[in-house]
Chains A and B, each alone.
Chain A
Amino acid sequence: MDPQLREVAQLFERFKAAFVRKDFNTCATLLTQLKVLLTKFPSLPPSFQPTPNASEELTIARQIYEHAVVLSVKIEDQEAFERDFSQLKPYYTDTCNIIPPSPEEYPILGLNLLRLLVQNRIAEFHTELELLPPTALENPCIKHAVELEQSFMEGAYNRIFNARQAVPHETYVYFMDLLAKTVRDEIAGCSEKAYDYLTTNDAQKMFMFSSDQELSQYISEEHPEWEIRDGCVFFQKAKESQPWKEIPSFQLINQTLSYARELERIV
Chain B
Amino acid sequence: MAAAAVSSASGLLAMLTEEQAELKLHALVNLNSLVHLFWPEISTSVPTIESLYEDEEFDQRQLAALVVSKVFYYLGELNDALSYALGAGPLFDVSEDTDYAHTLLAKALDEYAAVRSRPVKPSDEDAKIDPRLEAIVERMLDKCISDGKYQQAMGMAVECRRLDKLEEAITNCDNINSALSYCINLSHQFVNHREYRCEVLRCLVKIYQQLPHPDYLSICQCLMFLHDPETVANILKKLLFGSKEDALLAFQIAFDLVENENQAFLLSVRNILAPTPSVNPEAPADAPDVVGGDVPMVDESSNEPNGSAEVDPAEVLQAERLSKIRGILSGETPIKLTLQFLYSHNRSDLLILKTIKQSVEMRNSVCHSATICANAIMHAGTTVDTFLRENLDWLSRATNWAKFSATAGLGVIHKGHLQQGRSLMAPYLPQSGGVGAGSPYSEGGALYALGLIHANHGEGIKQFLRESLRNTTAEVIQHGACLGLGLAALGTADEQIYDDIKNVLYGDSAVAGEAAGIGMGLLMAGTGSEKANEMLSYAHDTQHEKIIRGLSLGTALTVYGREEDADTLIEQMTRDQDPILRYGGMYALGLAYRGTANNKAIHQLLHFAVSDVSDDVRRTAVLALGFVLYSEPEQTPRIVSLLSESYNPHVRYGAAMAVGISCAGTGLSEAISLLEPLTSDVVDFVRQGALIAMAMVMIQTNEACDSRVGAFRRQLEKIILDKHEDAMSKMGAILASGILDAGGRNVTIRLLSKNKHDRLTAVIGLAVFSQFWYWYPLIYFLSLTFSPTAFVGLNYDLKVPKFDFMSHAKPSLFDYPKASTPQATTTAVRQPTAILSTFAKAKARAAKKEAEKEKAASGGGSAEKVASPSEGAAKTAEKPEKDKEKESDAMQVDNPAEKKPEPEPTFQILMNPARVVPSQEKYIKFLEGCRYVPVKLAPSGFVLLRDLQPSEPEVFTLTDAPAAVSSNPSATVPASQSQQASSAMAVDEEPLPPQPFEYSP
In the complex, the answer to whether B14 meets A93 with C-beta atoms within 8 Å is no
In the complex, the answer to whether B20 meets A35 with C-beta atoms within 8 Å is yes
The tally of CB-CB contacts under 8 A between chains A and B is 78
Cβ < 8 Å to B, chain A residues 43-95: 45-48, 50, 54-55, 79, 82-90, 93-95
B646: chain A residues within 8 A (beta carbon):
267
Residue among A39, A50, A94, A265 making CB contact with B1, cutoff 8 Å: A50
In the complex, the answer to whether A47 meets B5 with C-beta atoms within 8 Å is no
- What is the CA–CA distance of A266 and B651 in the complex, to the nearest angstrom? 12
Residue among B9, B23, B30 making CB contact with A36, cutoff 8 Å: B23
A45: chain B residues within 8 A (beta carbon):
4, 6, 11
In the complex, the answer to whether A93 meets B643 with C-beta atoms within 8 Å is no
A79: chain B residues within 8 A (beta carbon):
17
In the complex, the answer to whether B23 meets A39 with C-beta atoms within 8 Å is yes
In the complex, the answer to whether A98 meets B1 with C-beta atoms within 8 Å is yes
In the complex, the answer to whether B8 meets A93 with C-beta atoms within 8 Å is yes
Known: A48-B4, A87-B14. 9 other contacts (CB 8 A): A32-B20, A45-B11, A47-B30, A83-B15, A83-B18, A85-B14, A89-B10, A93-B8, A267-B642
Q: Does B773 contact A (CB under 8 A)?
A: no
With A36-B23, A267-B646, A267-B647 already in contact, the answer to whether A86 and B4 are too (CB < 8 A) is no
In the complex, the answer to whether B4 meets A97 with C-beta atoms within 8 Å is yes
Nearest Cβ on chain A to B114's Cβ, whole angstroms: 29
Best-buried of B11, B643, B645 by chain A (most CB within 10 Å): B11
B645: chain A residues within 8 A (beta carbon):
267
In the complex, the answer to whether A267 meets B648 with C-beta atoms within 8 Å is yes
In the complex, the answer to whether A90 meets B8 with C-beta atoms within 8 Å is yes
Residue among A36, A54, A85, A87 making CB contact with B20, cutoff 8 Å: A36
In the complex, the answer to whether A265 meets B4 with C-beta atoms within 8 Å is no
Residue among B4, B6, B651 making CB contact with A98, cutoff 8 Å: B4
B residues whose Cβ falls under 8 Å from a Cβ of A: 1-15, 17-20, 22-23, 26, 30, 34, 609-611, 642-643, 645-648, 651
A89: chain B residues within 8 A (beta carbon):
8, 10-11
Residue of A nearest to B1 (CB): A50
With A32-B20, A54-B1, A98-B2 already in contact, the answer to whether A267 and B643 are too (CB < 8 A) is yes
- What is the CA–CA distance of A84 and B14 in the complex, to the nearest angstrom? 7
B26: chain A residues within 8 A (beta carbon):
39
Nearest Cβ on chain B to A265's Cβ, whole angstroms: 5
A48: chain B residues within 8 A (beta carbon):
3-6
In the complex, the answer to whether B10 meets A266 with C-beta atoms within 8 Å is no
In the complex, the answer to whether B11 meets A35 with C-beta atoms within 8 Å is no
B5: chain A residues within 8 A (beta carbon):
48, 94
Residue among A54, A85, A267 making CB contact with B610, cutoff 8 Å: A267
In the complex, the answer to whether A46 meets B34 with C-beta atoms within 8 Å is yes
Residue of A nearest to B34 (CB): A46
A36: chain B residues within 8 A (beta carbon):
20, 22-23
With A39-B22, A39-B26, A54-B1 already in contact, the answer to whether A265 and B11 are too (CB < 8 A) is no
B10: chain A residues within 8 A (beta carbon):
86, 89
Residue of A nearest to B19 (CB): A32
A95: chain B residues within 8 A (beta carbon):
4
A83: chain B residues within 8 A (beta carbon):
14-15, 17-18
A35: chain B residues within 8 A (beta carbon):
18, 20, 23
In the complex, the answer to whether B11 meets A86 with C-beta atoms within 8 Å is yes
A39: chain B residues within 8 A (beta carbon):
22-23, 26
In the complex, the answer to whether A267 meets B1 with C-beta atoms within 8 Å is no
B11: chain A residues within 8 A (beta carbon):
45-46, 86-90
- What is the CA–CA distance of A54 and B3 in the complex, to the nearest angstrom? 11
Residue of B nearest to A52 (CB): B1
Residue among B7, B23, B642 making CB contact with A90, cutoff 8 Å: B7
Best-buried of A86, A88, A89, A265 by chain B (most CB within 10 Å): A86
In the complex, the answer to whether A266 meets B610 with C-beta atoms within 8 Å is yes
With A45-B11, A87-B15, A89-B10 already in contact, the answer to whether A50 and B3 are too (CB < 8 A) is yes
In the complex, the answer to whether B647 meets A90 with C-beta atoms within 8 Å is no
In the complex, the answer to whether B14 meets A86 with C-beta atoms within 8 Å is yes
A88: chain B residues within 8 A (beta carbon):
11
Residue of A nearest to B645 (CB): A267
Q: Which 7 A/B pairs are nearest by Cβ-Cβ distance?
A: A86-B14, A39-B26, A267-B646, A46-B6, A86-B10, A83-B14, A87-B11
- What is the CA–CA distance of A55 and B651 in the complex, to the nearest angstrom? 79
Residue among A32, A90, A97, A267 making CB contact with B651, cutoff 8 Å: A267
25 contacts between A and B (CB under 8 A): A32-B20, A35-B18, A35-B23, A39-B23, A46-B11, A46-B34, A48-B4, A48-B5, A50-B1, A54-B1, A82-B14, A83-B14, A84-B14, A86-B11, A88-B11, A89-B8, A90-B7, A93-B7, A93-B8, A94-B7, A98-B1, A266-B610, A267-B609, A267-B642, A267-B647
